[in-house]
Structure 1
Amino acid sequence: MKPSARTIRRQALLALCVLGVLGAAACASAPPQPPAVPGAPPVARALAPGVYMLPGTGGSADEANLGRIGNAGFIVGETGVVAIDTGTSYAHGRAILAAIRAVTDKPVKLALVTHTRPEFLFGGKAFQDAGIPVRMHSRTARLMAARCENCLKQLRQVVGEAPLAGTAMYKPDQQFDEPHAVEGIGRSVRVLYFGHASGPGDIAVFDEASGTLFAGGLLDAGRVPDIQDGDLAAWKKALAALRGLRVEQVVPGHGSASPAVLIDTVEGYLVALERKMRGLVASGTSLLEVPDAGELPAYEHWDQYDLIHRRNASIAFLRFEREMLFK
């Protein structure tokens, strides 16, 4: 069978990356580790002493991957553990806890939810039932309450009822508005908040000893970032703030653990998207033309390009068009 034009372009882009012809923004896509096996119990991958990642599968949620497409992780301190994100479902939350217990018998003191996406928050009830408080930003809690009943209904339609047994909406045990240090685990871990950036209450978690950043919705690796809840200008300011930290490695919301250059890679996409969409607005392009006119070939090999990038293009176009009209 003759390969499609899209396949040929992707192969060409990968070849250019290998030869060093394209820049880092276009080439940071091939994962250094294999993704999680769909449906398999999560297994902790050590990234640094006391720092672990539980990889998601990537892609879109479906019956095969049980919706477990996003990453989770945990940090082990002298006296306890903080979990970062709770998984897609009640069963996934329990599986994450089992993966933590396979590594350490220290108590899990806290679960942090980084942002409002089903694959990061719907395991929260499993943590609460185990006596572990779930903490999230107050704006994340409000967004979850406003729309996640519908998110859960949609998730049941694509994943199925059985994998989501016991999964339910819940309220966080703890809410916050400001950046702060995690207490009670005997390790210096900071919760970072830069205002409404990739989402209204999106946070990152930084382990100072190892320089590991759990980036939540701020960074994805080899996957198109979703701008529908984002403020592009503020998002770029947040990324600039991350550069001021001693980041050695990043656990993104989706994709493989990556070096700190991932910050530049994601910003490169956001800048390219804005430049392209502002150009289309200025040239009088119609919204109907945007999905095709707004292609960014340097990024088409990224996960979810066909779905998320096309949606990003339309969202950004409408925002910039409105901005021009109301100047």
Structure 2
Amino acid sequence: MRRRRMLALLGAAAAGGCASPPSPPASQPRTLAPGVYLLPGSGGTADAHNLGRIANAGFIVGERGVLVVDTGTSFAHGRAILAAVRSVTDKPVKLALVTHARPEFLFGGPAFQDAGIPVRMHDRAAQLMAARCDGCLKQLRQTVGAVGMAGTAMYRPDQVFGAAHTVEGLGRAVRVLYFGHASGPGDVAVLDEASGTLFAGGLLDAARVPDIQDGELPAWHRALASLRGERLTTIVPGHGAPGSPALIDAVDAYLAALETRMRALVEAGASLIDLPAAGELPAYAHWDQYETIHRRNASTAFLRAEREWMFRQPREGRP
């Protein structure tokens, strides 16, 4: 694997000529609670300026070792996360856990594998990564650039799982929460029980429109209801600033407003042509990615609502 990594690095360097890599966003760890650290993403969309590092990552330091939550956007990002851990502790990194199959959370995995650190993810998230993330990587190379993505490659996780569990070997109580297919297949959250800090992965974003492309909305609402039953003090969303458990209500309200609006439009006989104006939710217009992700969400939710409405109608000739 190391030889393949070196060849990939040399190839990317040749493609980039003598260009120097852009300066990455700040990667200093921020303390959220004793032993719990955040590496904040930039937000926005992946580009050459932010090196695609738009999402949050973090790590939890136990008595016997460290758990890294999400691995970053690229091989270089994964190495930067490891360097951030080393700036805080010399305890061994036992595991890197990927919360969901979005490119900004998973492509740093090989940097951990090269360091002898296993990467773990839910088996359904691993299947989704294998099915479509080759295309995601090609797109990142275009938007971020060959230099910023140097050495980044598709990979397989070392460990997969299918259910909620406790992370062993840290000397600290950390639980992986899984609620079934909610925000996406195999999406999980990570809870540090000592501090009540939740790394929410794809289940929650802060002041950013959540992407429903892979979501099952009724199950997503149920997952958020389950989170309310946990003892939480701080939530680290997949994107955006950490906050209180009120983040749960904010995302839940957006999803409900989206569903309500799209169902009303279907009942009123609207069509997809009407969505650019009729599908607006002004209360969320200030959220990050409203102009892009919300527009896509509106189309997705409208088509789902239309399908539900058609199934509810009496079939022709039925008594």
Q: TM-score, normalised by structure 2?
A: 0.90
Once the two structures are TM-superposed, the CA of residue 318 in structure 1 deviates from its matched residue by: 0.2
2:207 is paired with a residue whose SS is: coil
- Contact 1:81–1:109 under 8 Å retained in 2: yes
Q: Does 1:143 align with 2:128?
A: yes
Which structure would you say has the larger Rg? 2
Candidates 271, 282, 286, aligned match of 2:256 = 271
How far apart, in 1, do the equivalents of 2:105 and 2:135 lie? 16
**Per-residue Cα deviation, 1:59-100 (whole angstroms, up to 9, x for no partner):** 000110000000000000000000000000000000000000
Q: CA deviation at 1:291?
A: 2.1
Instruction: Please state how far the C-alpha of 1:40 moved relative to its aligned partner.
Output: 3.0
Q: Secondary structure at the match of 2:200?
A: strand
Is 1:113 the counterpart of 2:81? The answer is no
- Closer, same or farther: CA 163–218 of 1 in aligned 2, 3 Å: same
> Residue 255 of structure 1: CA displacement?
0.2
1:315 aligns with 2:300: yes
In the alignment, what sits opposite 1:23? none
Unpaired runs of 5+ residues, structure 2, are 1-21, 313-319
Q: Distance in 2 between matches of 1:292 and 1:150?
A: 31
Q: Following TM superposition, by how much is the alpha carbon of 1:261 offset from its aligned partner in structure 2, in angstroms? A: 0.7
Structure 1 equivalent of residue 158 of structure 2: 173
Using the alignment, how far apart are the partners of 1:133 and 1:323 within structure 2? 42
Native 8 Å contact 2:25 2:42 kept in 1: no
Instruction: Determine if contact 2:173/2:194 at 8 Å carries over to the other structure.
Output: yes
CA-based RMSD: 1.0
Q: Deviations over 1:76-125 (max 9, x none)?
A: 00000000000000000000000000000000000000001110000000
Q: Which residue of 2 aligns with 1:204?
A: 189
Tell me if the contact between 2:183 and 2:216 (Cα under 8 Å) persists in the aligned partners. Answer: yes
2:290 partner amino acid: Y
Shift of 1:41: 4.4
Question: Which residue in 2 is equivalent to 1:94?
Answer: 79
Matches of 2:24 and 2:272, distance apart in 1: 39
Aligned length: 291
Percent of aligned pairs sharing the same letter: 71
Contact 1:38 1:57 in 2 (8 A): no
- Kept in 1, the 8 Å contact 2:25–2:53? The answer is no
4+ residue runs of structure 1 moved beyond 3 angstroms? Answer: none
Is the 2:70–2:97 contact (alpha carbons within 8 Å) kept by the matching residues of 1? yes
Given that residues 81 and 108 in structure 1 are in contact (C-alpha distance below 8 angstroms), is that contact kept between their aligned partners in structure 2?
yes
TM-score, length of structure 1 as denominator length: 0.88
Paired residues of 1:250 and 1:257 also in contact (CA < 8 A): yes
Tell me if structure 2 keeps the 8 A contact 1:291–1:314: no
